[in-house]
Every structure is written in C-alpha cells, then in structure tokens.
Amino acid sequence: DVKVTQSSRYLVKRTGEKVFLECVQDMDHENMFWYRQDPGLGLRLIYFSYDVKMKEKGDIPEGYSVSREKKERFSLILESASTNQTSMYLCASSLEGDENTEAFFGQGTRLTVV
C-alpha cells in the first residue's frame, strides 16, 4: 500500500513562531505537493516538487517555503506563523506520468495559530 505520512495530526502554534510540517512517502514518487484546505475553497496548492531540491510555487505560496532534500520527504515551512494560516494542511505524492496519475494523500495536519 502506498503510504503518505504527515508528522502531526494537530498542531497549535503562536503567532510569529516558525512552524515545520513534515511529510514522508514510501513509494518512490517523484512528485510531492502541499495543499491547504479551507471550507468552500477546496484544496489550494501551496508548493510542489517534482524532484529532489526542485520546487515550484503553487497558487498560494505567500508566507510559506518548502524543502526537499530527500526524495521521500517534503517539508512545508511557515517562517512566521499568522492567524490566517490556521487551516488543514494536506501533503500528497504522485508518480511522474500521464493524465491517469493518482495523487495519494496523507491524513492531514490541522494547524491552529493563536
């Protein structure tokens, strides 16, 4: 079974803190993604990576950065957390490929910034 594991289910952080969200996949997928999920807005892409040390901005990268030093691990970093970053964060991975490529998701991290 493909497994995408996010390091925390729930996190509570203070405004201004630096926050790290970690994601690990065990299927040797080239692509990894970070989304945030808010009611009525669906999933919005923050950043994605198609190879080690490679990254591309998604639709809402402001306030976030990412790191991919190893193929299996993709980290999302909030340099200085703000209350408007309170959200559900979902990590996903997929094989490089065609239009049938499936995205596999982690269970999500619910981040609250107070």
Binding region for another protein (CB under 8 A):
4, 9, 31, 33, 35, 40-45, 48, 50, 58-59, 90, 92, 94, 96, 98-108
Least separation in angstroms between CB 14 and another protein: 25
Cα(96)–Cα(109) distance, integer angstroms: 25
Q: Which is nearer to another protein, 40 or 79 (CB)?
A: 40
Best CA proximity match to 51, nearest among 105, 90, 2, 96: 96
Provide, rounded to whole angstroms, the least separation between the CB of residue 70 and another protein. 19
Give the Cα separation of 112 and 24 in Å (integer): 22
Place of tokens 């107070």: 114
Alpha carbons 19 and 102: distance in angstroms, whole number: 29
**Considering beta carbons, is residue 14 or 39 the nearer one to another protein?**
39
Nearer to another protein, 90 or 113 (CB): 90
Minimum distance between the CB of residue 59 and another protein, rounded to whole angstroms? 6
What is the pairing mode between strands 73-78 and 64-70? antiparallel
